[in-house]
């Protein structure tokens, strides 16, 4: 626009950001521009779905008889799913379409981040050395946080729309601060970039910690002394010109690997495995769904579903008799309450399973009309996925139906053993609970009652033992032993009793039994500890349960960047 003389100052460029009731302004701008030969930029049209048909008519109206220099530029965010494809076909057919594909790999991302600036940018600050070093570090930070998304939940617990605008505004803030101060305000810069510019997108506390840790590692006084490595084998370059920085990336950046982001190579194996599983699942879902048996198949679709359905109904145990269990409880301790709540939740799930399977069985026999829910259940059984109606009453799980059902039976067995006399088992399977938080809270409640401590001033201490589940014969006097935890992103070394680097191809090594006990807040010593989030599944994000402090000899920031977390299911 500037090259051809179209600017805001000349009054012939109209830039309108939609989504804030600007539709009328946009229509007026289009009318004026069509008459006078101006340019109109309409941003974020995906936010005004209802107005798009009016826009289509307006553009069609101005397609004939308008000024030959009249142009309209439209921008929209990518749609997250096919249902969100709302831009009218007429607009798409008559447009020249440009998509901004995100680059892949650190090399391409770092070059693209640097492309937002020029030699003039590098020369615009009086504190040239400091400005250039921090600018390059910010470019690397931007490339790392943008590309880390491809590692799934181990990269970021939730996906975030980081853009080049976050980087350019961060560099503007850096310039303003350095111009106003003779000293580099490292803390201020880290806060503004990590908590506001980039942190403004972040909704998960653990992701916020990750963003903060990157900046603590990349932007610190050592960067000006030539002692800072942005990644293993990639030192922060000294003061160079613009082309020199691009050349340095080509010459010095190590080959693409998870190490460039602070992750372990296992993160890539895990991410590629999950992607392959999704692809194969999609191929499976695309196969024909007619009733006739394919050549070489075991039987028809209905026969396969019928056999599976009968097998599940046969293996499904009776519901827990809640009246009997309540009568059996002598004292309603926090642990007994947890056991009863878990039995109630299990009853709700097994009752729904029995009802829906029985209904489908009648439908397959022709005794009931097949409904949409019954067909959805039939498809799930055939494709080996957990039905939606079961998941709503269930616990988060990424397992196939066969694994999920075996896991369900194991959970029922654990509950049956516990509710025989309601004495606390020697070790508890933490992943076997609908609500693991309730058990961990019960540990604190029991200790608080026994010692008459205020519950809101207590915390859980986590001691990893050197033994496995079979080595324990009885529960501890205070607290609880828990098993069934897995570590992702690292491994637990039993000899040293600390977190260590994971072994290649061991994605989620099992943890030994963990001793959980409650202590007053002020008695907790956090030195040499990594606050490790515990999640129910590898999806992380909303499946967060608790934070366990694990011993580490290395700086905890290493494990933050590696995305180390405890999991209850793998």
Give the pLDDT of the chain (570 residues) as one tens digit per residue.
Answer: 889 999 989 889 999 988 778 889 999 999 999 999 999 999 888 888 889 999 999 999 998 889 999 999 998 887 777 777 888 888 889 899 888 777 788 999 999 999 999 999 988 888 888 999 999 999 999 999 999 988 989 999 988 888 888 999 999 999 999 988 888 899 999 999 999 999 988 999 999 999 999 999 999 988 888 788 999 999 999 889 999 999 999 999 999 999 999 999 999 998 888 889 889 988 888 877 665 544 455 567 888 888 998 999 999 888 899 999 998 888 888 999 999 999 999 999 999 999 999 999 888 888 888 888 888 899 888 888 999 999 999 999 888 899 999 999 999 999 999 888 888 889 999 999 999 999 999 999 999 888 888 888 889 999 999 988 888 888 888 899 999 999 999 999 999 999 999 999 999 999 999 999 999 888 888 789 999 999 999 989 899 999 999 999 999 999 999 999 999 998
Q: 367 and 324, same structural domain?
A: yes
What is the CATH number for 130? 1.10.8.720
Q: 157 and 86, same structural domain?
A: no
Q: 438 and 491, same structural domain?
A: yes
Which contiguous run of DSSP H or E holds residue 405? helix 401-418
DSSP line for 140-189: HHHHHHHHGGGGGGGT-SS-----HHHHHHHHHHHHHHHHH-SS--HHHH
Rounded Cα distance, 3 and 439, in Å: 66
Which contiguous run of DSSP H or E holds residue 436? helix 436-451
Where do the DSSP E strands lie in 25-95? 39-43, 71-74
Q: 401 and 534, same structural domain?
A: no
Q: 457 and 481, same structural domain?
A: yes
The answer to whether residue 196 is domain-embedded is: yes
The answer to whether residue 34 is domain-embedded is: yes
The answer to whether residue 290 is domain-embedded is: no
The pLDDT of residue 293 is: 47
The answer to whether residue 279 is domain-embedded is: no
What is the CATH number for 381? 1.20.1270.280
User: Is 72 within 8 Å of 47 (Cβ atoms)?
Assistant: no
Q: 444 and 553, same structural domain?
A: yes
Rounded Cα distance, 195 and 180, in Å: 21
User: Is 353 within 8 Å of 319 (Cβ atoms)?
Assistant: no
Domain end marker among 400, 423, 446:
423
Q: 261 and 339, same structural domain?
A: no
Q: 371 and 249, same structural domain?
A: no
The answer to whether residue 182 is domain-embedded is: yes
Q: Number of C-alpha atoms within 13 angstroms, CB side, residue 531?
A: 11
Residue 151: CB partners within 8 Å, gap ≥ 6?
258, 261, 263, 267, 268, 270, 271, 563
Domain end marker among 407, 423, 439:
423
What is the CATH number for 435? 3.10.490.20
The pLDDT of residue 368 is: 81
Q: 255 and 167, same structural domain?
A: yes
**Token pair 């447009």 is at which residue?**
95
Q: Is the dihedral of CA 137, 143, 146, 150 positive or negative?
A: negative
The pLDDT of residue 547 is: 94
The pLDDT of residue 290 is: 61
Which contiguous run of DSSP H or E holds residue 16? strand 13-17
DSSP 3-state assignment of 73?
Answer: strand
**Count: domains in the chain:** 4
Q: 223 and 186, same structural domain?
A: yes
Rounded Cα distance, 147 and 259, in Å: 12
**Token pair 């090399």 is at which residue?**
107
Q: Number of C-alpha atoms within 13 angstroms, CB side, residue 118?
A: 1
Q: 530 and 435, same structural domain?
A: yes
Q: 304 and 249, same structural domain?
A: no
The answer to whether residue 230 is domain-embedded is: yes
The answer to whether residue 99 is domain-embedded is: no
Structure tokens given for 504: 């290649």
The pLDDT of residue 570 is: 86
Rounded Cα distance, 296 and 351, in Å: 36
Of 565, 503, 554, give the one whose Cα is nearest residue 531: 565
The answer to whether residue 440 is domain-embedded is: yes
Domain end marker among 423, 438, 462:
423
DSSP 3-state assignment of 356?
Answer: helix
Residue 108: CB partners within 8 Å, gap ≥ 6?
none
User: Which residue range forms the structural domain that includes residue 543?
Assistant: 425-569
Task: Give 39's strand partners.
Answer: 13, 71
User: Is 540 within 8 Å of 565 (Cβ atoms)?
Assistant: yes
């Amino acid at each position: 626009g500037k090259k051809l003389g179209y600017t805001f100052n000349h009054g012939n460029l109209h830039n309108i950001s939609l989504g804030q009731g600007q539709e009328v302004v946009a229509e007026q701008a289009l009318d004026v521009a069509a008459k006078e030969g101006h340019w109109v930029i309409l941003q974020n049209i995906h936010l005004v779905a209802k107005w798009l048909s009016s826009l289509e008519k307006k553009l069609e109206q101005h397609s004939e008889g308008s000024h030959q220099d009249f142009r309209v530029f439209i921008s929209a965010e990518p749609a997250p799913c096919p249902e969100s494809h709302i831009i009218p076909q007429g607009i798409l057919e008559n447009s020249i379409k440009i998509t901004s594909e995100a680059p892949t790999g650190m090399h391409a991302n770092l070059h693209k981040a640097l492309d937002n600036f020029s030699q003039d940018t590098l020369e615009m600050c009086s504190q040239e050395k400091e400005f250039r070093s921090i600018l390059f570090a910010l470019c690397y930070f931007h490339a790392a946080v943008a590309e880390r998304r491809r590692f799934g939940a181990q990269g970021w617990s939730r996906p975030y729309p980081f853009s080049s605008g976050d980087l350019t505004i961060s560099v503007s803030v850096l310039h303003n601060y350095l111009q106003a101060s003779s000293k580099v305000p490292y803390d201020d810069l880290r806060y503004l970039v990590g908590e506001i510019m980039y942190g403004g997108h972040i909704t998960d506390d653990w992701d916020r910690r990750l963003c903060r840790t990157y900046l603590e590692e990349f932007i610190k006084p050592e960067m000006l002394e030539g002692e800072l490595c942005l990644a293993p084998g990639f030192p922060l370059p000294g003061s160079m010109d613009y082309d020199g920085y691009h050349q340095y990336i080509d010459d010095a950046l190590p080959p693409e690997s998870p190490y460039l982001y602070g992750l372990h190579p296992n993160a890539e194996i895990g991410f590629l495995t999950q992607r392959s599983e999704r692809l194969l699942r999609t191929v499976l879902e695309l196969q024909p769904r007619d009733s006739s048996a394919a050549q070489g198949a075991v039987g028809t679709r209905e026969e396969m579903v019928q056999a599976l359905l009968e097998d599940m109904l046969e293996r499904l145990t009776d519901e827990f008799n809640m009246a009997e269990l309540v009568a059996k409880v002598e004292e309603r301790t926090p642990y007994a309450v947890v056991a009863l709540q878990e039995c109630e939740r299990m009853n709700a799930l097994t009752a729904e399973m029995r009802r829906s399977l029985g209904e489908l069985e009648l439908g397959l026999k022709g005794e009931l009309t097949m409904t949409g829910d019954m067909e959805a259940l039939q498809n799930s059984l055939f494709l080996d996925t957990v039905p939606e109606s079961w998941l709503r009453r269930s616990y988060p799980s990424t397992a196939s139906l066969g694994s999920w059902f075996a896991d369900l039976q194991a959970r029922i067995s654990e509950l049956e053993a516990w509710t025989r006399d309601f004495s606390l088992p020697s070790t508890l399977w933490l992943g076997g609970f609908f609500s693991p938080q309730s058990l961990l809270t019960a540990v604190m409640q029991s200790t608080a009652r026994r010692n008459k401590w205020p519950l809101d001033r207590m915390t859980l201490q986590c001691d990893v033992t050197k033994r496995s589940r079979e080595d324990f014969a009885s529960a501890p006097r205070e607290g609880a032993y828990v098993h069934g935890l897995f570590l992702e992103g690292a491994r637990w070394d039993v000899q040293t009793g600390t977190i260590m680097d994971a072994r290649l191809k061991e994605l989620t090594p099992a943890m030994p039994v963990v001793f959980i006990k409650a202590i007053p807040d002020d008695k907790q010593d956090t030195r040499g500890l990594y606050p490790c989030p515990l999640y129910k599944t590898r999806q992380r994000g909303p499946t967060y349960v608790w934070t366990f402090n694990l011993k580490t000899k290395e700086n905890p920031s290493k494990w933050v960047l590696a995305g180390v977390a405890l999991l209850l299911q793998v």
